[in-house]
Structure 1
Amino acid sequence: MTLRDKLIGTWKLETYVEVPIDGSEPFYPLGKHATGIIMYTPDGYMSAQLMGEERLAFASGDWFKGTDEEYIAEAQSYIAYSGRYFVDETNQGLQHEMQVSLFPNWLGQQQARIVSLEGDTLKLGPASPIQSKGKAVMSHLLWKRAKTNN
Structure 2
Amino acid sequence: MVLPPAIAGVLAGVWVLLNNTPTDLNGVPQETRPFVGLITYLPSGYMSANLASTESDKRPRNLTYPAKDGQPDSDWALVGKNTLAYAGNCSVEPWSTTTNGTLIHGPLLVADVPSWEGTNQTRNYEVTKEGNKTVLRLWIHREGSETIGNLYWAKLAPLV
Aligned with 2:8 (options 4, 8, 24): 4
Report SS of the residue matched to 2:21.
strand
Q: CA deviation at 1:88?
A: 2.6
**Which stretches of structure 1, 4 residues or more, deviate above 6 A after TM superposition?**
22-25
The answer on 1:56 being equivalent to 2:60 is yes
**Aligned position for 2:139:** 125
Unaligned runs of 5+ in 2: none
SS of the aligned residue for 2:84 comes to strand
The structural deviation recorded for 1:64 is 2.9
Q: Structure 1: which 5+ runs fail to align?
A: none
Aligned to 2:104: 95
Using structure 1 for the length normalisation, give the TM-score. 0.79
Do structure 1's residue 83 and structure 2's residue 83 form an aligned pair? no
3-state SS of 1:43 partner = coil
Deviation at 1:19, TM superposition (A): 3.1
> Residue 76 of structure 1: CA displacement?
1.9
**1:37-76 correspondence to structure 2 within 5 Å:** 37-53=38-54, 54=56, 55-59=59-63, 61-65=64-68, 66-76=71-81
1:17 Cα shift?
Answer: 2.7
- Deviates most, 38-47 or 68-77: 68-77
Alignment TM-score, normalising by the size of structure 2: 0.75
Matched, 1:110 2:120: yes
- Size of the aligned set, in residue pairs, is 141
Task: Give the secondary-structure state (helix, strand or coil) at the position aligned to 2:60.
Answer: coil
Percent same amino acid among aligned pairs? 24
